Amino acid sequence: MTQDRDLLASGAAEIIPVDGLSEKLALGRPLRVKLGIDPSRPDLTLGHTVVLGKLQQFQEAGHDAILIVGDFTSRVGDPSGRSEMRPMLSAEEAEENAQTYLEQARLALDVERVQVRRNSEWLGELDAARMIQLASVSTVAQMLEREDFRARYEQGQPISVVEFLYPLLQGYDSVAVEADIELGGTDQTFNLLMGREVQRAHGQEPQAVLTMPLLEGLDGVRKMSKSLDNYVALTDAPDVMFERLMSLSSDELIPKYELLCSDLGIVDHARVVAGLADGSIHPNDEKRRMARTIVDRFHGAGSGERSEAHFDRVHKERALPDEIPERPVPVSVVRADEQGARYLYVPALLEALGVADSRSEGRRKLAEGGVKVNGAPESRERIPLDGPGLGPFAGSVWQIGRRRFAKVGSITP
């Protein structure tokens, strides 16, 4: 029992109450372990896998893993950590995001063995009388104890009554599935505790709460987020994932990434923490092992080693990758000035090749010195052309940064 408890508690930020997990395990039956996800955005990062991996761990220990897709609550919008109300999603948007979410979640969780439920099953059936009863579980004063609500209230920023309902609706999910344990990130603590209150009000034994730490992004400071461009996406190709992980700016976070995003375990974690502290483990060597291990987890055994070889070939040997995509470019990348002289308009070419997301990004990268053609730096937006077609740039290889390469293919109308 103690061994099971230690394994399931590993990496946790907090267990509420302190003995809650032990008490639930002492029941001697498979526990109903709940994780709720709101598909407010469709894309998953490595940060999302922290709590998904914990649900998988409970499942592998023989417990009933329940993944609740918040197709109803995502239309309300979780106010956690927000300084303003989230925009409400339509039912169609929520379902589209949910499908994408589940496809990506398969990389971190055995979705086929998980009970996947949508909370519209029960929340969509609540009539006005039952919603009023649910609202009576909490007071306005209790809601304002929540840090983000309190800050907005003190700053005179509006708080919708719908936002007050969100923690109660999430709490009702725990009633609907009779949860013994609920998992979530530390930013969800208030909502998870509200689940205990809603269960009590409905005559159920309150769930234990196990929160997992939020994963800092590659900048080493802020929460991993696509909007902050400090993320590793689950859909990243192996080479891209390895390179992103190697860009982690804080050596102190290497053990945390290994503990939360790989299967290396708590014993290995302690060894690495001690080794980095006393200098017996070199940070760069350990960062490479961390990157290999995480890539292997999401892309299969051996993919980390192959990605490391690619990384060394491109960065240490300054060689081009073995495989560079060849893409057609429209004839419009070649233009003429007022005198009729032809030139290659580089921002349009970079966008067409897919190495820049837009022409404005292409212009910015040129100004920053981040563009290369055939391995040589290029900063010109307009390159004069002599002769037909693209001249010397036919079949050329363009590069932005260390990850994005493309070869000029055929010219299309």
Q: DSSP 3-state assignment of 398?
A: strand
CA distance from start to end of the chain: 69
Is the CB of residue 152 less than 8 Å from the CB of residue 83?
yes
Is the CB of residue 78 less than 8 Å from the CB of residue 86?
yes
The dihedral through the CA atoms of 156, 158, 160, 161 has a sign that is: positive
Is the CB of residue 215 less than 8 Å from the CB of residue 47?
yes
Whole-structure pTM over 0.75, yes or no?
Answer: no
> Using alpha carbons only, how large is the chain's radius of gyration in Å?
26
How far, rounded to the nearest angstrom, does the alpha carbon of residue 353 sit from its chain's CA centroid?
27
Architecture of domain 326-412: Roll (3.10)
Task: State the pLDDT confidence band at 205, using cuts at 50, 70 and 90.
Answer: very high
Give, in words, the CATH class of 2-212. Answer: alpha beta
Task: State the pLDDT confidence band at 229, using cuts at 50, 70 and 90.
Answer: confident
Residue spans per domain, the chain: 2-212, 238-315, 326-412
- pLDDT tens digits along 374-406: 878 899 999 998 877 888 888 888 988 777 889
Residue 1: count other Cβ atoms within 10 Å of its Cβ. Answer: 9
Select from 3, 77, 6, 9 the least CA-distant residue to 39. 77
Element (H, E) at 14: strand 14-16
- Pick the range with the lowest mean pLDDT from 190-194, 250-254, 298-302, 399-403: 399-403
CA distances from 209 to 111, 241, 308 (A): 22, 32, 39
How big is the chain, counted in residues? 413
pLDDT of the residue at 147: 77
* Structure token digits, residue 109: 């969780």
- pLDDT tens digits along 140-172: 888 888 777 788 888 888 878 888 888 899 999
